[in-house]
Every structure is written in structure tokens, then in C-alpha cells.
Structure 1
Amino acid sequence: MRAHVPGAQGAALQAADASSQPGPEESKPEAACHAFGCSIFPSSMAPAAERAGATLQREEWGDITYPVLFIQLNQLFSTPAGLEWRETARWIKFEEKVEDGGERWSAPHVPALPLHSLFQLRTCLQKGTVLLDLDAPNFKEIIDKALSRQPEEAELQPELRERLAALLLCQPRHQPTKSLLQLLVELGLSPCRGKAKSWSEPGAQLSKTPLKEQLRNRFKKKVPPGAEAAHIAVGEVEFLEKPFTAFIRLRQGVALGSLSEVALPSRFLFILLGPRAKAKAYHEVGRAMATLLTDEVFQRVAWQAEQREDLIAGMEAFLDELTVLPPGKWDPSARIPPPSCLPSPHRRTTVHQPDGQSHGNGDIAAAGDRAGQRRAHSREELERTGRLFGGLLQDIRRKARWYGSDFSDGLHPQCLSAVLYIYLATVTNAITFGGMLGDATANMQGVLESFLGTAFAGFVFCLFSGQPLTILSSTGPVLVFERLLFSFSQDYGLDYLEFRLWIGLWVAFFGVVLVATEASHLVRYFTRFTEEGFCALISLIFIYDSLKKMLSLADTFPINWQYRLDNVTSYSCICNLSSPGHSSTGNDTPLPSALGLGGSRVSVHNLSLLPPLSSQPPAALAMLSRTQCLDQGGYLLGTSCQYVPDVTLFSFLLFGGTFLSCTVLKRFRSSRYFPVGVRKVVSDFAIILAILASCAVDAALGLETPKLLVPSELKPTNPARGWIIFPFGANPWWVCLVSTVPAVLVTILIFMDQQITAVILNRREYKLQKGAGFHLDLLCVSLLMVVTSVTGLPWYVSATVISLAHMESLRKESTTSAPGEHPKFLGIREQRLTGLAVFVLTGVSVFMAPVLKHIPMPVLYGVFLYMGVAALNSIQLTDRVRLLLMPAKHQPDLAYLRHVPLRRVHLFTIIQLLCLALLWVLKSTVAAIIFPVMLLALVGIRKGLERIFSLHDLSWLDSLLPETARKEADGKQSREQEESNSEEVGDVLDAAFSGLMPRRGPEINVSVN
């Protein structure tokens, strides 16, 4: 029968539930003690268990951290030359074994232990030597003290101690981690020197200083900084009649020379030596000890233990959570791969709730707990001060102390990749929306205005905003409003730019009023329901626009569906310079078949290279290119004149190839190929590599795919307008007053668009350290509205998808991770340099046209598609939509599926999809004028869901609204106060009755409810 490490087997099930458990700040003082008391019978270990539990509770409140342990298992082997210590396994988080061949390490795996080995280990701790906080400067003194402080019943004879000490002081043979180059060198040299040299020879004494091989060991890169070593030595010897065991914890980490594979200070030692014929049992006990030391809960007990019973109590807690598998139902030789995530140790110390508290699916108290937790984590940025501009002043104070580091933190190679990625995305977005604005406004705003506005607004925002990771850009909802505004101006004879100027000024005024009154605190009502609806809409706009642009290529570069290879001899195209009225069919002789469809491009563009054909009329034999022919008044004759290569089909190949390349290269970090450093670089520069590869393919084939066109002159797209828009003169005076009506709608749109994006970017899961600046961001956007309106540039607001892509490109992960452990997400590289560099490059793109013109537009549309899909995959709504298409037995183990009935999950998803469809319809029809109001209505719809769903369901599928969470928290507090008062009254009455009545037994308990 085998037992698994607690939390390893089934960790994928527990991890989903970990987020729902109270953190350290909410755990009750007695919870940790209860975690150590799972036995249904009284235990003699109760005082030690309470002491160990109290120790863990103090650590949780004190936020104590301990060094990571590198654990090495050395086993004693008998060789012809004598006894020899060999490294057979090692642990940091998971176990790695030396394979039977002795030349390589196994893959990291979850250790599977025989249950009996744990019981034997407990016996070793109960009967063997236990030395805690031992002071010793070297390994020899440690061994001498361990041998001299044995229990009386296990004391060894002096001669046995000497032999045992000499054996323990022998140099172990390590199994170093070798690179591929080292293995190839050894393979090439092995015929010359016979056998590879070992680190040690049998019987050699332990070196007091680290060996050269230890210092060069590549495995040290996997060991976290500040780690310490734990040594386990097991084996059988013929001169012992009974086992010798010792568990030692040093007061200070001591460097023990060449004892460890990696040169680290040592803290723990465990020794088990015994008589022969039980080598396998000794090995398994050593593995059990190593596995215990990798367990975070037991490790914390081992660090703080004051006596032997504390260690045994910690082991009892380990056994309480053990999962046992029957021997005939699985393969013991199978190695369980490490799970993707592990449960928090805080959850394990509070998993046994005191007083039999129930956390069933329908428990309203559980929903209240979750609401209380979320309320406890509410942002200080959203707390009202009650003063004019109070929130703005707090934002400025909060961000001022980080302003210097916002520039120094950007000096990292990862930021270069982010700059190139977001720059190309921003340029593509500026060209796309600039072209759409030009079509919608008769070029009153075009590509050049889009470039200049993006560069100016983005640069200023990144320089002064509260959240500089936000990327400003033109967005779909703003574009819809611009189109409606231009149509309205045309219908009623108003000057569009002047009308737009007054709307922008009023929007800026309303925005400043919102900042002054701290209206940004209303974003607390933007729950997951609202955030996901808006994020999904913007993501779908990106996906839809990229596909729409690709499909429109078929109009410019039609696909040659009628091409037939057998008819190639009849295809031709010639230039006829004679008047169309004088031409006749008899005179229009087609070119030879050699100039047919197979060479139609040559016949059109390179016709001047062909020798004149004397048999043709002079007008038909003008050897001109297609452009020259049309410029000189000629016209083209022939069946292949309208032929173009299959540019559209090739563009779709570039489009799909770029999208797939971005996806594959971005996931390359978690692949099994190449070293970690290479995978990280490829993943960080995934988008740039995909773009370069697609551009190289396009250049190699030479097809005339549509390229990125950047304006090369600084002049307005429409010559009828200037760079400064005057407020009076073109429209009646009352327009400045009437414009307040559309300005209110634009204000709602800007506020919702800006603040929803800000809420998404400042989620807790991004682990931002420098805080948000909701009021400061809204002020910057409002003031920029004045400048862009006066200069006739597009209006700018936070771009959700590009900002999310910016955040993802700046993810920080742990550089060192234990074998088998996935890199830990550390947060986002918060700085201003990437945004500033992106918008500076956008501004100078006008002068970079000779370089940028080689980038095919289908490649950039592929990047657009990737950004939309990546943003769509980042929201929970996408996961729940997939659940609609999955049978229940194939659905993943998600936390909310454990606590909310599936039909309620589907109902919540369908309501979200209906709201999303309504937003899309409003955006795409003449009703788009009320689109901002519909965004605001999402909050009202979310409030109405409380009549359909219970608070318990909403706490799992969404988050509770502020007043609902406050009521739940206040109700819980009042209930706890009532219970506390009743207990106090019960104590008073109990004391009174105890003085008046004789005591009948300890079971009597008087209480008043």
C-alpha cells in the first residue's frame, strides 16, 4: 500500500478550492490547533499538538518565512573497494532519483511512499537521538555530539562509535547535473581514459572546503537564493546489531565542505544506520524523512520544535492528511508528474474547522465570508475622502514616491520586447482606425491625424497618469460616435469640427467635475459581470475587424477562380494606344501563348523588355508597362489583363501563420525543448519573432501583398481644414449650448471605457505594487480631450485589448524554480518607459516610412487577431461558454462548479451572452447613440441579478456589490456579537449557579441563547 505526500496527489482538485479559503489574516487562533487534532480518540500527543498548532498560528500572524531546503539522500553501498556513500535522490519540492544506470537524474515527480516507512520513521523519532539547536562548527563535531548524546537504551559501545564516526565522515559520491556539452566531451574522451572519473574514491575523507565540482554544478541555478541543505544518510553495516538514528537541527547554518552536491550551508541532518538485510527499508525511511522535510507544514514545525514531541506532533499532522491508494489499483512504479499548482499551506492549517462548522454548497455564511474577504481587500484608491479633489490628491501622493522608480524599473531587456510589440500594435491600430475615421468623416480626420494624436495623447498620459501601463488609443465605441456625429452635422448643415470642439470642451468640463466629486469610487460597482461584458465586446471588435480587413482584400486583389491551366495559350494582354472607336477585333491580335497567363505579369509590367513584333500594328505594339499604357491614354486588350497573382490567398496564409506563430512562440516558455533561458527569450520576443518570420517569407516569395502605408508629409488629410479649430464662426452661437446633450453621452462613454479598463488592469491577480490612480487617469483623459478637440485630432481613451497585451508582455516570473515546479508569477514590471518609447516611436513613424513599408498588413492583422483572442481567453466568461458545449463528465474541475449548480452557471452565462449580443447590436446599428447608456445599464442589470441568483451563487460566479457585501459583513458581525454576549451571560449564570447548587459533574454546562 502506498501513501502520497499531502497536497500532491489531487492537488489540481485542491488548488481550485484554495482561492476560496481564508487567508492568514482571517484564520482563527484555534484553527491551527484543530488541524492537529483529527483523531477520533483521545491522544497523548494533545499538548504537543496544541503547542505545534500555536506555533503555526504565530507564524501566520507574524509572517515568518524560512529558507528553502535542498534535501539530499546518501545511501551506503558495498563495493569491492569498501563501503561508499552515494547520492541516490534529491528534493527541493519534488523527488528526483538517480536512475539505475547511474548516469542521469529522473524527471521530477511526486514521491509515493510505503505507508509502513512512515510508521518506522515515527518510531525513529520516538526512540532515536534528537538534537535541536545544536551548536557545532564542523561535521566531525556534529557526529561526535550525536554519538555521545544517545538515549540510554540505544547507547553504543566506544569502539562502535569510532567505527560509525569514521564511516559517516567518508566523502560521498555525488551525481552532478551535466550539460549536453559535458556529456559529449565525456563520451568522446571515454575511449581514451576508460572510465569517467568520480568525485571521490571509496574511503576518502570528507573535504572541509567545497570541491571545484560543487561550485560548478549547474543544478545550483535551480536552487532558490538563501536556500539551506538537509542531509539524510541511510544504510546497512555489519557491525551494528540494532539501528542507530539521529535527527539534528543546527542552530546556525554551517558549511559542511563537500557533504552536499551543491555548496550550501546545512541546517538539518538525519542518520539511519542498522544491521544488514534491510537496505530497502532503510532507503524508504530516508525517502520518508526527505518527503516530510519538503512538506511546508512539517517543515515549519521542524524549524520551531522545542522537543521530540513537537516533531512527532508535526508528523501526526502529516499523517492526518495522507491519501492512501490500495496496492492492487495502481502501478507503484508509475511516477506521478508534478501538478500545475499546489494548495496553500494556510488552507491546510485551517482545513479542519472548529465546532463543526459547515461549509456546504448552500451555506450563506460561506458567502458572507467571501464577501467579507473581498471587502477586506477593497482598494484604498476608491475610498471617498469627502473633499473636493480629495481622491486626486491622494492619487498624486501615492504615485509621487514611485515616480523615480517608474523610469529605472524600465531598464530591463524584457521592456525592449514589449516596446516593439506594442509599437507595432499601436501603429496598426492608428492606421486602421485612422482609415475608418477618414471614411466616416470625409477625411476631416485621417491616418496622419491618428498618428499625431496617438503619439501626443499617449506620451502625455504615460508621463503623468496614475497607471502608466494603460495604452491610449482610438476605440470602436468612440469611432461609432464620431460617425454618428459627422452624419448629424452633414444632415443639419453644421460644421463638424467646430461642433466636435464644443462637445470635447464640455466632456472635459464634465470629466473634471467627476474627478472633483470623486465619482471614480463608483467603479466599485463594476463587478466581473460588467468587466467581462465590456472586455469581451472590445476583444470581439478586434477579432471582427481583423477578419473583415482580410476579407476586403478579395475586392482589391480578386481570387482567380476561373483560371484553367489548359487554357493558358489563350491568355494574353496587350496595350492598344489607338482610340477605342477605331479599334476592331481583326486588328487586336493577341500576344503569343508565351505571354499568356503564365507570364501575364511580365506582359503587363515588363513588356518593354520584349522585341517588337513587326506583324502587329504600331498602336498595338507600344511596348509599355500597364501604368505607362494607361497614363498615355491607351487601354488594355486581352483575357489576362485583369489577372493578379493570388495575393489574397497568400495574405490569408500570412495572416493565419502570424497568429499561429504568436500563439506557439508565446507558449514556448512551458515547452520541453532547449534550456530555460532560451525558452524565456523566445517567449518574451514571441510577437517580434513571428512578425519577422512572416515578413521574411513575404520578402522571399516577392508577391505584392498590401504593405503598411505611413504618411510621409505633415499636413492635414483634408486640405480644407487647418491644425487649429476655432470655436466660433462656422456654426450658430447656440451650438455651444446644444452640444452639452451629446457631451453627456460621450462623458458616460469615456468614463465607462476608461474606468472599466482601469479596473481590469488593476486586478489583484496582477500583483501590482505601486497602486492605481483612477482619479488621476480620468483627469488626464479629460484634459487631453481639450487639446485633441482644439487641434481636430481623434479622441483617445484606454484601449482594453492593447493595454492587456502590454501587461502580458511585462509579466515577471521567478528566475529560479525547483525541478518540477512551474515558474511563479511575481507581478508586472511597472514602469513608464515602455509606454513613452512606444508613443515616441509612433510619432517618428512618419520618418520611418522606408522601413515600415516592407511590413505586410496581413501580418499586422494576424497580430490583431492574436491580441483579441488572448484577451478573450483571459476572462472567465470564455471558460463558462465552453462549459455549455461540454458534457458534465468532461468538464474541468473549477471552483465555482463545486459550489454552484451547473444549471445556474449556464443561466448566468446565457444572461451575459445576451447582454453582449445587445451591446454588439447597439454598436452596429443606428441605435448606437444610446450605446454609452447601455454600458451604464450593465451595472443595473447586475443589480437585478440578485433577484435571480442567491448571494452564495453570486459570490462564486461574480463578486458582491458594495452595499450587499457591507450588509452581509455587518450581519455576520452582529451575529458574532450576539453569540459573544450569550456566551458571557452563560458564564455569569454558570458562576452564579455553581455557587448556589452542588456540583453534579463536569458535563453540566449552563448557557443562554
Structure 2
Amino acid sequence: MENTAFQNNEATHRDQSVPGQNSIATEETEKPNGTQHGTVEAAFEIAIEAADNSDWTPEVNVKCGFMKGILSDLRRRIPHYWSDYKDGVGDRKSIQKTISCSFFLYFACILPCIAFGVLNSDNTRGVLTVEKVIYSQVFGGLVFAVFGGTPHIVLLTTAPLALYTNIIFSLSVEYELNFQAFFGCIGLFNCMFLVIFSILDLSKLMQFSRRSSEEVFALFISIAFSIDAFKNCAKSRLRYIYFLYFLWLKINENYYCDESLISMKNLTSQVNFSLASSDLSEPSRCAKEISLLYLLLLLGTVWLGVSLFTFKNTSYLNVTVRELMSDYSLPVAVIVMSFIGSFLFRKVEVLKSFQPTNDETFFTWVDLTRLPWGGVLAACGLGFCLSLLFFMDQNISAALVNAPHNRLKKGSAYHWDLFVIAAINVVLSMLCFPLVHAALPHSPLHVVALTDVEIKEENGHVYHCVVKVRETRITSIVSHTLIGLSLLILSILAYIPTPVLYGLFLYVAITSLFGNQIFERIQLFFTEKAAYPPRPYISIVPHKKLHMFTGLQLVQLAVLCIVGFTPYPYLKMFFPVFIFFLIPIRHKLIPKVIEQKYLNALDGL
């Protein structure tokens, strides 16, 4: 059966599938009266019987042309352009969803902007500031919301991009290159390769991808968010409790000894010194209460946000109130915990997340003539590696947005979206602003925030069946307009405590696990067989093969984690290559150990 994710006629996109996944059946099929019914098991049995009788494998059409993909994307999406606005305000429920989703996107985007802005500022010695990240977010988000083909895609500067920026800055310092020119040149080469990918229809190569590969990468992103949160929590304990951190500060020339008594376990003597500094971000005393409050605010943000997010699954109050509490879970959690941290405990000095700056050179074009030819050649190589990261992230995010269970009806625009991303980043590169691309898990969560679901229970297991998804551009336009207006109140946003920012990371990581099949199958390792949920693939695939497939996915995840979290920055440069290798591994290696008929059941939808 032919893959439908990149077909050119609109009819095939009525049930949009993820690139590389055949459309044997969807997990919920509709009865004539519109109710949901799980007939997928019968469809699986038919497909597996066909696979037994003939060596059936999904066919993949990878015939690439010149501009054909972009033109077909435009023909498919332009007729729906005005409906992309009307669908967000078509009825009272849609207006309610649009408003709540706009606030969700505002907080889900502005807080990572602040967090990654602080990280970029530290890594580049103040060249890329929080303000520049916000400017990038506003420009990229608004342009893509108006001109992009898939309105549910959310653009962000991400952790891999922050890492790449750090590597670029380190290379510029090591080889005495102008950082702005080097960064801008790498960004332009990246955009050049993205334009080539889009006009040559290379996004069709993603048809070789399968849901399992995409979910492995999505799970890696969730792990990365979690590690960032707990790593900064650990830094807080080192900063305010443990002696070794103070010892490190003592040998820094910015600090001097004074008279505070701090003891260290296993030392026979006590060392007397306290720390003073003009830098308010560093501790001036040993303060265990700050570390404790940091942990409480971080976990409190996660607990309150996730509790409100899952409140719709309870039987308390009425349906409308439950949905409202779930829709506004993120903004409520951030506001409540920020108030607790900044006002109720204002005598406990919790660090501000950043200090606003007044740099009048924000909108100065990069002078590329300051880069020697050797630097240009290096920028070309780094730009190609960066383009692979953009290519994979963009297409995987779009694939998860267009997954069959989301029931989107207007079709995809993989090639056009990639072209728009390239155009956006040309401007950002020339201004030496942080680059942006489609973000996980924000893009799939954007779909969830605009979805009406029907909750069903079968054999004690609760299922969420998608009834309707609003395909609208209004949410992205409104949220990024609010982010732009936030530039006027940066001094107020600075009062959002740092632990609340990282609590947001954990919230996003946890909520993105809902609906991730690999996470569901990992739980089966620790579940009694009699209590397995009544999923069709569980009743069809032998449990040994089922666990073997999950184990192979975990091996791939472990490799991504080793490369992504390695302390060697130059190895991290090749992280996009390892992401790309997920495709041939799934397409060529895994079928050698697991029969194709079982792969069709596990990974065929």
C-alpha cells in the first residue's frame, strides 16, 4: 500500500498520515452514525493475512522533481487559507478553544525563550540575549503563522540550536573569527541547503520514516527537557549548600574570603570564608532555604500544571469547567507558582531569571566581509550539518502534527513549510539573531490544545478519541502578538522565578508522553499480562516480538542520549546525522529481526 503523506492530490489528504506510514486503518474508525468504534483489529488481521500470502511491504514513492512538491503544497493549502482563520471563531466552543490555546502558546513559547535566552547569553558572552531570542520568536512565529502551510507547527529556538550556537562561539574564539559574521554565514549556508531540499522535494525521503522513529526522537526531546530541569535543580543545591561549589568560586578572581564558617564532610579542618560579588546571580552565603524553595517551586509547577491538565479525566464539577481547567493548566500553574515564589516568599532570595538589557545595536546587519575565506569554508560545512538538524526536526514535527489520529482534513505542506523556514532564518542570520525551527513537543501539543476529545472506557482503560481539531492560524498570531507586547514588560517577566521556568520544561516533557505509543509499550515491561490494555497490536503481535521491538527502540534512544548528552561538544555537532540514521535503521535493519507482518501491526499506522 502506498504511503499517503506526500501525495499531490487533495483527496488523499483527507486522512493525513505521517510520512512513511501506510494507512491500513486508524485507531478509531467511524460508524455511520458518527460514533467511534474500534474496528482496527479486523483491519490488522486482514493486512497480516495479506502479508502472509505475499511478501507485502509498504511501497514508498520517492520520485523527486523540481518545485513540484512546493507547487502541490500551495495548490492543496491555498483553497483553505481563509478557512484557517474562520475555523478559529466559527462557534462559541471554537472561540473558547482559540483563546485558551493562545494563552497556552504564549506561556509555552515565552518561557523557553527566556530560558534559552539566558543560556545563549551565557554561552556567547552577552551577544545573543533574551531580548534577541524574543525578537526571533515574534518574527518567526508571525511570519510562519501567516505564510506557513501547516498552522499547527510552533517555531522555537531549541536546546540543540543553543548547543550548536555554543559550538560556533567556541570555534570563533579558538580561531579568532568574528562571531557575528561566522554565525550569520553558517545560518545563510543552512538556509541555502534548506531551499535546495525544498525545491528538490527531498522531504519525500521522510516517507522512509515510521512512527516508531519519530516517537523515539520525541521521547528524546522529553528526556532532554527533564534533564535540563533537574540539572539546574542540582546546580541550585551546589550553589547554596555544598562546599565544593564555594571552593570553585574562591579560586575565581571575582570573589574573596571573609568570615562565614562552612564545613565539609570528611575534612579534619574547617575553612572560614564567605563570598561576596558584584554579580547578583551568585550566592553571597550558604542558604539552604533557597535551594529548598527552588525544588518546591519546580515540583509545584509540574504538579499543579499536570493535575489541571488531567482534570478533564475526572468526574468532578461539569464538563465545561473541567475542560477550562485543562485548557488553562499551563498559564495557571506559572502564574500561581510565580506569585508564591516572588511574593509569598519574597524574603527568600530566589534568583530572577534574567536582567533586561538596553542594546541599541539589535537591528544591525552582519558584516560578512569580516570573515576570511577559511571561515567561509568552515561555515559551509557547519551549515550543512545544521541543515540536517533543521530538516529532521521540521519534518518530524510536521509528521507528528499530521498523524492520522489527529484527523486533520486540509492536507500537509512539508516542502513549502521548509521553504518558509529557510526564508525566515535568512533574515535572522543576517541580524545575528537566534535561529528557529519547528519545535517538539510544542507542535503536537498545539494540536491537542485545539482538539475536542471524547473520553471512553473499555475494560477499565480510558481512551481519548479525537472528535474535531480546529485548523486555525489565529492562535499563533495572537500568541506571538502577545509575546511581542511582552517586550514592553520584560522587567516584570524577570520576576518569574528560574525554577518555574524549568518546571515548565518538566510539564511539557510529561504532557507530551500522553499518546506516545513507545511510552505505553515501555510500561508493558512492568505490567501483568492479564492487565494489558486492549490494544489491537497487543492481541496480534506475540509478546516476545512486542518487547523486542520496544527494546530496539530503547537502544536507539540510548544512542541518541549518549551523543546528545556527551560532554564532548564536537561530537554533538554530528547529532543530526545520528537522528537521520534512525530512518535506515528502521527501514533496513529492524525488519531482519522482526517479521514485516508484525511491524505492520506495531508501526504501520
- With the shorter chain as reference, the TM-score category is 0.7 to 0.9
Deviation at 1:710, TM superposition (A): 6.0
Q: Residue deviations 1:752-797, cap 9 Å, x none?
A: 1111111111111111122211011100111122111110011111
2:452 partner SS: strand
CA contact (8 A) 2:101 2:450 kept: yes
State which of 771, 774, 781 in structure 1 corresponds to 2:414: 774
Residues 737, 424 of structure 1: CA spacing in aligned structure 2 closer, same or farther, 3 A cutoff?
same
2:479 maps to a residue whose letter is: V
- Find the structure with the greater CA-based Rg: 1
- 1:850: how far off? 4.4
Identity of aligned residues (%): 26
Q: Which residue does the alignment assign to 2:140? A: 457
The answer to whether residue 433 in structure 2 is matched with residue 755 in structure 1 is no
Provide closer, same or farther for how the CA distance between residues 21 and 440 of structure 1 changes in structure 2, counting only shifts above 3 A.
closer
SS of the aligned residue for 2:467 comes to strand
Cα 1:710–1:393 shift into 2, 3 Å: farther
Q: 2:486 & 2:78 partners in 1: Cα distance?
A: 32
Say yes or no: does 1:365 pair with 2:74.
Answer: no
2: CA distance, partners of 1:931 / 1:557: 34
Note closer, same or farther for the CA distance 1:768–1:360 as it changes in structure 2 (3 Å cut): closer
Q: Distance in 2 between matches of 1:828 and 1:545?
A: 32
1:396 is matched with which residue? 74
Contact 1:425 1:860 in 2 (8 A): no
Deviation at 1:473, TM superposition (A): 0.9
Name the structure 2 match of 1:241. Answer: none
Return the letter of the residue paired with 1:771.
Answer: G
Out of 196, 201, 204, which is 1:521 matched to? 204
Corresponding letter in the other structure for 2:578: M
Match of 2:155 in 1: 472
Superimposed CA distance per residue, residues 33-81 of structure 1 (whole angstroms, 9 cap, x where no aligned partner) = xxxxxxxxxxxxxxxxxxxxxxxxxxx9xx9956x9xxxxxxxxxxxxx
1:11-30 equivalence runs, <5 A: none
Say whether the 8 Å CA contact 1:449–1:716 is kept in structure 2. Answer: no
Name the residue aligned to 1:830: 471
> 8 Å contact 2:356–2:491 — kept in the other structure?
no
1:594-605 equivalent positions in 2, closer than 5 A:
none
- The answer to whether the 8 Å contact 1:417/1:688 transfers is no
- The superposition leaves residues 226-257 of structure 1 with CA deviations (integer Å, 9 ceiling, x where unpaired) of xxxxxxxxxxxxxxxxxxxxxxxxxxxxxxxx
1:171-182 alignment, distance < 5 Å? none
Unmatched tracts of structure 1, length 5 or more:
1-19, 25-59, 69-295, 297-340, 352-357, 561-579, 586-625, 632-639, 961-1009
Q: Tell me, yes or no, if the aligned pair for 2:214 and 2:396 is still in contact at 8 Å.
A: yes
Q: Whole-Å Cα distance in 2 between the matches of residues 23 and 763 of structure 1?
A: 12
Distance 2:419 2:581 in 1: 24
2:418 pairs with 1:418: no
**Does the CA-based 8 Å contact 1:712-1:846 persist in structure 2?**
no
Report the secondary structure of 1:827's partner residue: strand
Shift of 1:630: 9.0
Is the aligned partner of 1:959 residue 2:604?
Answer: yes
Closer, same or farther: CA 879–366 of 1 in aligned 2, 3 Å: farther
Partner of 1:857: 498
Local SS of the residue matching 1:872:
coil
Change (3 A) 1:939 1:808: same
Change (3 A) 1:647 1:752: same
Query: Retained in 2: the 8 A contact 1:448–1:711?
Result: yes
Give, in angstroms, the shift of residue 441 of structure 1: 2.3
Whether contact under 8 Å (2:120, 2:129) holds in the other structure is yes
Q: Is the 8 A contact 2:102 2:476 kept in 1?
A: yes
TM-score scaled by structure 2? 0.80
C-alpha contact 1:814 1:824 (8 A) present in aligned 2: yes
Whole-angstrom distance in 1 between the partners of 2:219 and 2:491 = 36
Mapped to 1, the partners of 2:421 and 2:598 lie a distance apart of 37
Matched to 2:395, the amino acid is Q
- How far the C-alpha of 1:845 sits from its partner, in A, is 1.7
Amino acid at match of 1:400: I
RMSD: 3.8
CA contact (8 A) 1:753 1:797 kept: yes
What is the match of residue 812 of structure 1?
A: 452
Q: 1:535 Cα shift?
A: 0.7
Q: Distance in 2 between matches of 1:840 and 1:853?
A: 19
Does the 8 Å contact 1:410/1:831 carry over to 2?
Answer: yes
Higher relative contact order (CA 8 A, sep 6+): 2
Partner of 1:596: none
Q: What CA distance in whole angstroms lies between the structure 2 residues aligned with 1:919 and 1:491?
A: 28
Where in structure 2 are the equivalents of 1:240-255 lying within 5 Å? none
Q: Post-superposition shift, 1:824?
A: 5.1
Give the drift of 1:343: 3.6
Three-state SS of the structure 1 residue aligned to 2:80 is coil
Check the 8 A contact 1:503/1:742 in 2, yes or no.
yes
* Match among 577, 584, 588 for residue 940 of structure 1: 584
Name the SS of the counterpart of 1:800 in structure 2.
coil
Paired residues of 2:24 and 2:47 also in contact (CA < 8 A): no
1:536 aligns with 2:219: yes
Equivalent residue in structure 2 for 1:785, among 414, 420, 425: 425
Q: 1:893-917 CA distances to partner (integer Å, 9 max, x unpaired)?
A: 3322222222222222222111111
Name the aligned partner's letter for residue 905 of structure 1: L
Matched with 2:117 is 434
In structure 2, what is the Cα distance between the partners aligned to 1:451 and 1:22? Answer: 43
Are residue 656 (structure 1) and residue 299 (structure 2) matched? yes
What is residue 697 of structure 1 aligned with on the other side? 340
Change (3 A) 1:851 1:519: same
The residue that corresponds to 2:189 in the other structure is: 506
Does 1:406 find its partner at 2:84?
A: yes
Contact 2:191 2:422 in 1 (8 A): yes
Mapped contact 1:546–1:862 kept (Cα < 8 A): yes
Q: Which amino acid aligns with 2:401?
A: L
SS at match of 2:512: helix
One of 511, 516, 523 as aligned partner of 1:882: 523
SS in 1 for 2:297: helix
Once the two structures are TM-superposed, the CA of residue 371 in structure 1 deviates from its matched residue by: 6.0
Using the alignment, how far apart are the partners of 1:874 and 1:360 within structure 2? 25
Measured in 2, the distance between the counterparts of 1:502 and 1:924 equals: 27
Give the deviation of 1:645 after TM superposition: 6.4
Partner of 1:553: 236
Amino acid at match of 2:226: I
Q: Which amino acid aligns with 1:935?
A: I
Quick check: 1:736 aligned with 2:381? no
Aligned-pair distance for 1:649?
0.9
2:396 corresponds to which letter in structure 1?
I
Match of 1:706 among 351, 362, 373: 351
* Deviation, structure 1 residue 708: 4.0
| Contact 1:489/1:496 (<8 A) preserved | yes
The corresponding residue for 2:314 is: 671
Kept in 2, the 8 Å contact 1:662–1:687? The answer is: yes
- Separation in 1 of the partners of 2:445 and 2:25? 30
Q: Helix, strand or coil for the counterpart of 1:401?
A: helix
Helix, strand or coil for the counterpart of 1:812? Answer: strand
Could you tell me how far 1:874 is from its partner in structure 2?
2.8
- Contact 1:710–1:852, Cα closer than 8 Å, also in 2: no
Counterpart amino acid of 1:876?
Q
CA distance in 1, matches of 2:54, 2:486: 54
2: distance between equivalents of 1:868 and 1:488?
32
TM-score, normalization: structure 1? 0.49
CA offset digits 1:825-847 (Å, max 9, x no partner): 22322111111222222222221
Q: Give SS of 1:505's match.
A: helix
1:610 corresponds in structure 2 to none
Determine helix, strand or coil for the equivalent of 2:119: helix
Give the counterpart letter for 1:469 in structure 2.
H
CA distance in 1, matches of 2:531, 2:139: 51
Q: Once the 2 structures are TM-superposed, how far is the Cα of residue 474 of structure 1 from its aligned partner?
A: 1.3
Q: Distance in 2 between matches of 1:957 and 1:64?
A: 24
Cα gap change, 1:394/1:630 in structure 2, threshold over 3 Å: closer, same or farther? closer
Contact 1:457 1:784 in 2 (8 A): yes
Give the length in aligned residue pairs.
Answer: 539
**C-alpha spacing 1:362/1:466, structure 2 compared with 1 (3 Å):** closer
